[in-house]
Structure 1
Amino acid sequence: MYVSSVTYESPDYRGLTYSVQYAFSNQAAAPGGLGFANNREFGAAIKYLHGGLRAAVGYARLDGPNAASNTNGATYGDYPGAFPLWFKRVDTNLSGKTSNAALAIGSEQIIAAGGLYQIGKFEFGSVISRTLIGKLAISGASTPGFNTANGRFDIDSAEVSASVYVTPSYIVGAMGKYSDASLHTGSGVIPMHWWTFGVGNDYLLSKRTDIYVALAYEIASGKGNVAQVTLDAPSSNSHQIAFTIGLRHRF
């Protein structure tokens, strides 16, 4: 969540729009790495719409996210969630002991680009992204040598999807995603990989209300690695299945 932020969205220039955002640390300048850059976020995105094409690219940077030294900053409480849970499971698998690891992220950068193209009843999409987590402080890990003040986690992902409008109000789709990552700890570099496959359908009850069902299956590989579908709790092994059903209303 962003406690206080400023966002500008441009007018539509023949289908092209852009936006920029800055979320404040809400902290005055101070020595020792504290101040304006302690728990802040900034980013920008460009979107293009034309005919059946929808495309966008965006970049975001977070400095000191979820910093314990600044709980009133841009992000706190709900960030990060999935990453520490995954790391603890990997630490447990490698050490054979229950992990009590704690993580402090110095910075995170995300750049992503994606597009959708609709041809008649069919829609095809793709997304590529790169996430760089730096200045990763690891403490309390059970795996020998894992603890460090300057770790890193880099992950690259590519996804493709296809869907068909069976009727104007009923959509069926499928997707596939591959992620390649490297975890840098005090004991060296561990390569990680994930394959994720999913199917789903969406039924529109009205323009703003729909019912959706989705099924995802993920396979992980790499030393100690485990599957973790989206933000769910990680699996205890290299496989995980997630099933979702929901009713959604847009206000």
Structure 2
Amino acid sequence: MKKSLLALAALGAFAGVAHAQSSVTLYGIIDEGFNINTNAGGKHLYNLSSGVLQGSRFGLRGTEDLGGGLKALFVLENGFDVNTGKLGQGGLMFGRQAYVGMSSQFGTVTLGRQYDSVVDYVGPLEAGDQWGGYIAAHPDDLDNFNNAYRTNNTVKYTSANYGGLTFGGTYSFGGQAGNFSANQIWSLGAGYSNGPLVLGAGYLNARTPANPGGLFNTASTTSPAASAVSFTTNPVYAGYQSANTYQVAGLGGAYTFGAATVGLTYSNVQFYGLGTTSATIFNRGSTATFNNGELNFKYQLTPALLVGAAFDYTRGTAVNRTNGAPTEHADYYQGALGIDYFLSKRTDVYVISVFQQASGTDSTGNSAHASINGLTASSNNRQFTARVGIRHKF
């Protein structure tokens, strides 16, 4: 009897130690607000929408200390629409992130559905990731700085912090028998943070599958990249879905002067190998290129009040058509303003406004229409949107 009691006591003590070395956290964000869109396909639109400043979500994250500096970890993160309760990211249960991995003094390796290196190292330096939300992202988020597309089937490495320097990379398996390169996505990036200075750089390369256009398929859970938006409804680059490769190279930096922060980002986006299907107006093998530059500014007026402003310029090159006539290049000019007031550490109210003007010829071969990210494209070359919202973190 005494031995049994001693055994139970020992097991209880062991369970207590194991519990102390493990942790699981439930977290989330609820972001809701009222929007005005002056030109949604030719009509004014007034509506409520969820997850503009930050995507509405709830998630679980956990770690277990395995000893010797080694830890096991996981994240399961769901996206949802506050107004309807429906799942985000194309209806996926954990569409934002879902991964498991190990960390040590040498860095972290994770496996699952994750963000690429452009998102990790350059994305946080654009206005959309700070105070502007997805409507302040670059036109149709063509460079993925605002994380419109996540990668499935991904192995990711993130380094430890070496005096402010971090680096990492991802590789996403295509999963197509007999064709190793089809569907594959890989990225590399690095960041540096030291006092008032923050720098970031990233590169992303994605190969299309046997069915071009499927790279950004929202419905497929096996597609290497799945999103909450449809590739074919983004006129800035929808006409380039016949490309066999999508490539992004991005740079960014920010410097803080007291309460003010000035930031710059640049991206070069290329759609290689156009014309791989018959349903295209472009010469087979041609390339479409975009160059994007953003200047952003934010000022912490008080500990509770932040104001921000940004200007973004995107230029798309001309591409030769199958009829021999090149398209005209496209230009997109965009300005954004934002005010964010924190009622507490967890709750804030905000106002965001964005204006965009387009000119030239877009990817469909038609006159370029304004297309603010995440919204129905304009019926002409101008579009304005404004939002008043509330965000609560838990």
Higher helix share: 2
Report the number of matched residues.
Answer: 230
**Cα distance in 2, alignment partners of residues 69 and 232 from structure 1:** 21
Change (3 A) 1:121 1:106: same
Report the more deviating stretch, 202-211 or 238-247.
202-211
Tell me which of 191, 194, 201 is aligned to 2:332. 194
Shift of 1:148: 4.1
Shift of 1:78: 5.0
Unaligned segments of structure 1, at least 5 residues: 89-100
After superposition, where does 1:172-211 map in structure 2 within 5 Å? 172-184=307-319, 185-186=321-322, 187-211=325-349
Match of 1:131 in 2: 269
**Cα distance in 1, alignment partners of residues 203 and 346 from structure 2:** 29
**Residue 370 (structure 2) pairs with residue 246 (structure 1):** no
**Cα distance in 2, alignment partners of residues 16 and 51 from structure 1:** 12
**Residue 372 (structure 2) pairs with residue 229 (structure 1):** yes
Q: Once the two structures are aligned, what percentage of the paired residues are identical?
A: 26
**Cα distance in 2, alignment partners of residues 169 and 104 from structure 1:** 48
Q: Deviations over 1:85-136 (max 9, x none)?
A: 4467xxxxxxxxxxxx783231011011111111111111111111001112
Higher relative contact order (CA 8 A, sep 6+): 2
Contact 1:84/1:102 (<8 A) preserved: no
Counterpart AA for 1:37: S
Higher Cα Rg, which structure: 2
**Cα distance in 2, alignment partners of residues 107 and 153 from structure 1:** 11
Contact 1:40/1:75 (<8 A) preserved: no
Length-normalised TM-score, structure 2: 0.53
**Cα distance in 1, alignment partners of residues 390 and 187 from structure 2:** 31
Match of 1:44 in 2: 188
Length-normalised TM-score, structure 1: 0.81
Contact 2:352/2:388 (<8 A) preserved: yes
Match of 2:86 in 1: none
**Cα distance in 2, alignment partners of residues 52 and 128 from structure 1:** 20
Change (3 A) 1:39 1:249: farther
> Aligned-residue CA RMSD in angstroms?
2.6
Match of 2:202 in 1: 58
Report the more deviating stretch, 121-130 or 211-220.
211-220
Unaligned segments of structure 2, at least 5 residues: 1-149, 362-366
Shift of 1:162: 1.1
Contact 1:25/1:39 (<8 A) preserved: yes
SS in 1 for 2:380: coil
Contact 1:228/1:240 (<8 A) preserved: yes
Shift of 1:201: 1.5
Contact 2:154/2:170 (<8 A) preserved: yes
Match of 1:119 in 2: 257
Change (3 A) 1:16 1:206: farther
Report the more deviating stretch, 216-225 or 51-60.
216-225
Higher strand share: 1
Match of 2:242 in 1: 104
Change (3 A) 1:5 1:249: farther
Contact 2:330/2:368 (<8 A) preserved: yes
Change (3 A) 1:79 1:217: closer
Counterpart AA for 2:307: V
**Cα distance in 2, alignment partners of residues 207 and 13 from structure 1:** 30
Contact 2:208/2:214 (<8 A) preserved: no
Contact 2:240/2:271 (<8 A) preserved: no
